Amino acid sequence: MSVARQESIVGAVEAGGTKFVCAIGSGPGAQLLDRAQFPTGDDPAGVLRNVTAWLQERQAEHGALTALGVASFGPLDLDESSPTYGFITSTPKAGWANTDIVGPLRAAFPGIPIGFDTDVNGAGLGEWRWGAAQGLDDFVYITVGTGLGGGGMARGKLLHGLVHPEMGHMGITRIAGDDFEGVCPFHGRCWEGLCSGPAIEKRAGRPAPDLPPDHPAWDLTIQYMAYGLVNLTCVLSPRRIILGGSVRKAGRLGEARFFERVRAAFRSIMAGYIVSPALTEAGLAEFIVPPRLGDNAGVCGAIALAQAARKNGPARRDGNKSKNTRKTR
């Protein structure tokens, strides 16, 4: 391995609701040198110990990591002046509320830049660098799995603001005759409450991958999925929507059929209101797409966050506001 390549190695942590995926490398494909995963479970301290130990072992093997990137499920505190910067905040996930996930990494890897953002902004950044959002400065990245989240870019900057977008928790029109109460502990029938994996399982009485293709739960899930995508298109005017996460694989229905049906439902709900070649029947095949990095979108996103942090400035090592380590570009 060349010296130049060793210098570019970063550590990546994709913190998901089901598993933590860790990697080292400098990008997708052959640039991803090693990866491992640990179940998220309900013991954050144990998982974070495993993650830091794995990264330290890889560092011993491959040379010093030049930066770390953490792309996490949320909600997160991304305010660098806040005493709880680097924390997962109000998640309903058992054991994980108010958990400092950047702190243990900062302690284990003192002095190196750490990029920190939502899993979906991270995955979006990865797709922008290497995948389905290349050349696009306005796009949305959605993940639908244990939860439902969205991030992306506007005018070439990752979406941040008051906190970060929480696209999964927008309200969604009720389809006539559907009395499902949803699964979100905060809102019941928000987008996540209607379309996440646990929502499909609760509605259908068995997990999504086991459902026959003609099960009515697919029909409703696809309709609600499309309502959310129409809302996002109306609000953010993205040039593309990348739909990742496990639900889009759609088990026995299949990913290709799932996307076809989501696009058709999107077109029907949009009803021709926004006029763009991207929103025609042919255009939608390129407008609503799966991640090109596939299941590595998240961890490649964490690599991209690490690289952005390295480019943007030194690590934030204490409570003082230092140079930005999270804003990219």
Helices vs. strands in the chain: H and E counts, helices first? 10, 12
- CB nearer to Zn ion: pick between 65 and 184: 184
Is 93 a binder of Zn ion (CB under 5 A)?
no
User: What is 188-236 written as a DSSP string?
Assistant: BSBHHHHHSHHHHHHHHSS-GGGS-TT-HHHHHHHHHHHHHHHHHHHHH
Q: Is 158 helix (H, G, I), strand (E, B) or coil?
A: strand
Which has the closest alpha carbon to 148: 178, 112, 109, 190?
Answer: 190
Q: Is 22 helix (H, G, I), strand (E, B) or coil?
A: strand
By CB under 5 A, how many residues form the interface with Zn ion? 5
Which residue of 58, 106, 129, 169 would you call a contact of Zn ion, by CB under 5 A?
Answer: 169
CB of 287 to Zn ion, least distance (A): 26
Assigned token pair, 234: 């109306």
> Per CB under 5 A, which region of 69-77, 108-116, 177-185, 290-298 contacts Zn ion?
177-185
Which residue of 184, 200, 220, 288 would you call a contact of Zn ion, by CB under 5 A?
Answer: 184
Assigned token pair, 187: 């809102």
Rg over CA atoms, the chain: 19
User: What is 37-69 written as a DSSP string?
Assistant: EEE-TT-HHHHHHHHHHHHHHHHHHH-----EE
Is 190 a binder of Zn ion (CB under 5 A)?
yes
Is 90 a binder of Zn ion (CB under 5 A)?
no
- CB nearer to Zn ion: pick between 184 and 306: 184
- CB nearer to Zn ion: pick between 11 and 150: 150
Is 19 a binder of Zn ion (CB under 5 A)?
no
- CB nearer to Zn ion: pick between 187 and 292: 187
Which residue of 19, 35, 49, 187 would you call a contact of Zn ion, by CB under 5 A?
Answer: 187
> Per CB under 5 A, which region of 34-42, 169-177, 229-237, 298-306 contacts Zn ion?
169-177
CB of 148 to Zn ion, least distance (A): 9
CB of 74 to Zn ion, least distance (A): 12
* Whole-number Å distance between alpha carbons of 122 and 129: 11
Is 167 a binder of Zn ion (CB under 5 A)?
no
Which residues of the shown chain bind Zn ion in the complex (CB under 5 A)?
Answer: 169, 184, 186-187, 190
